Structure 1
Amino acid sequence: MKSTLLSAICALFLSILTFGQTSTEQYETESNGSTSFTDNGVMFNIISNVNTYDIQAAYPGTGWNGTSADNRYIDNSGAGNQSAGTSFSIKTTSNLFKVNRFWVYAAAANTTLGVAGTLTITGKLSGVTKFTQTKTTGFTATTSTANGYTLIDMTNLNGQNYSNIVIDQLQITAGGNFQYLALDAFTWVKDTGLVLAANEVKPSKKDSGIYPNPTNGPLTIKTDENTKFEVYSQAGQLVKTIETQKGINETDISELPKGVYTVKSSRESYKIIKK
């Protein structure tokens, strides 16, 4: 009896340790124009598939945090040539995640609601599609409801639950007359207890990285190509450019004030803390 009870307690304890951590990213601490964001210790990259997507912070009160208007979100308002078929992805290369829900503002190029369009939501793992569904109806048609945003609930998308599927990339593609897209209140699950099949394990990238982090100035950049890294402040201002060669590069940011910076090339993006 004691052995059975002890086993049950141990099982419960382990399940608590490995239980997924749900987090909602509202983008309020991210920099305007940033193409990446960090939430719950995980960095996500915003990948522009069609048109240009980044963090929007120029129009306060036009976002939606799930209960009220807020000031920052992802959108393609800076694209200039918005078109049907516009598409972007939220992707991480260092972690796996599951999507619970998020809110989207789907409209014409001039942000007019109520036009006919479709939204296709696709989850990928290591480039392999794990699920895809297209929403064709039920979009919010007025800013008087949820500030114009539509809830995409992954626990019941077209009658199916996709919130337990492990992915590393969420892709959102608009069709029909939807040319402007905004996303806010991204709720996802970080689960350190995930067990994947052998063909789903994504190998870690050992040939690139930036360290130490945090740093009081010195930085080592390891990259697999000759490239250029740009350092941006939290305000989105370019404060330093670093030319690198394939391999290990030593540099220094001692001249920069203490704070959080985004260091990115055309392929990679990192957030570092300057002490």
Structure 2
Amino acid sequence: MGTVYLGVSPGDRRVAVKVVRGEIAADPSFRRRFAREIDAVRRVGGFHTAPVVDADAGAERPWLVTEYIPGPSLHEALRTHGALPARTVRTLALGVAEALEGIHGHGIVHRDLKPSNIVLAESGPRVIDFGIARAADGTALTRTDLVVGTRGFLAPEQLTGGPLTPAVDAYAFGMVLCHACGAAPSAEAAVRDDALRLLPRDLSAVVADCLRPDPARRPTPTQILERLGGEEAESADWLPPAVRTLVDLHQASTLTVPEG
């Protein structure tokens, strides 16, 4: 979709600056959708997202600035250290479900929930880039050679052209948790069943419901939280030591960002 830069605000705050690709920016309809999505995204709060700081949909190349969250993506953590322990996966599930509850509550569907759009911060997981995929949907680029979303995490209706509702994020949520416990993302039933066996029983039941082919039968984020919220509270040490080291490295790397 574009390039992300680490920037510094005038007040010396670290921020993520996301600049849209030129071929997408050339589509006037994208710019209109991008402006609408940014207005909606600004209203989303909560502990498990990255707040929007500033944006300009009318720039030569539209851009969006969000709070920089020091930490690896879930994708980076899994690629570097492999499957996460059950305690970490549970906190991941609670945080991502809470983020989706806030996102959906403002009429936004993420459409591209995946490990690289989840940052593992010291305080808990953060979901990023919601709204941008929706803004790109329908551009000339997406109509001709790009499906909005990432294969392996796409709900069946995203592949068949069905209506895109918040239920697509529930499906992706289920696939993310399967991936976090060590399974390769796949829509194949045998692979999915193997992944479910790797999860704790209560999480496995929720994920199985999230992966139902019928969108109407998937749970909402609120229902997920109701089913999981009483089991175990989040804690300051939710990350395994190896992943916490990655968080520390991300925090240290921002100290050397040149100003200007």
Q: TM-score, normalised by structure 2?
A: 0.29
Pick the structure with greater CA Rg. Answer: 1
Give me the TM-score of the superposition, normalised by structure 1. 0.28
Larger fraction in helix: 2
